[in-house]
Amino acid sequence: MRKFVGRFSLRVCCWVQRLLGVDLLRRAGWAALCVLLAMGSAVSCSGMPIEEQARHVRANELLFHQLTSEAFIVAWGPPSYQRTEFMQFFGTEDDSLTPRSRLASGESPRGWKGHFESGEGLFLAYPDQGWLVVFLEKRLIYREALTAAQLHALGRSWQYEDRFRSRLEVPATP
């Protein structure tokens, strides 16, 4: 009787695993798990469609972590100035990440939560719209309303600094 119950429970257990797909994941191994995670992160990062993102940009509803640089280009056209630079970003209470370059030396931003992120930041300056927007990993992380004169001065300083950047400092183009 004990053998019968043991075999029956083993068969039920295997059937439940197959039903839930656990057996498939076990057979496929880590490769399938990685593919599933990549697909899930791609879907979650895309968030809202580009048309809806562009509508938010046109309405000046610049939502952190939901808008991509493509939405700004669709809505406002190519930026007057752009720069890509690896740097540290300070996490703040409003969910933005303030670039180190927008702070005075030794200063921390208002509402700093005490965490950092580092990465290749994409800075886009739109003097006609009055916005400096910054992206990290294709998501909006920082916005700052500036006058057209301030944005032109910032863009000219980027162009001047680019003259002295070595090939090692210039980010690779995809």
Domain boundaries, the chain: 2-46, 50-162
- CA torsion 49-50-51-52 (nearest 10°) is 60
Residue 110: pLDDT band (50, 70, 90) is: confident
Nearest to 136 by CA among 95, 170, 80, 93: 95
Average pLDDT over residues 65-75: 95
pLDDT tens-digit profile of 23-63? Answer: 444 455 544 433 444 444 444 445 789 999 999 999 999 99
* CA angle, 33 then 38 then 42, to 5°: 150
Nearest to 112 by CA among 127, 102, 123, 121: 102
Residue corresponding to tokens 């119950």: 5
pLDDT score of 162: 87
pLDDT score of 49: 95
Q: Is 102 exposed, middle or buried (CB count within 10 Å of its CB: 0-12, 13-18, 19+)?
A: middle
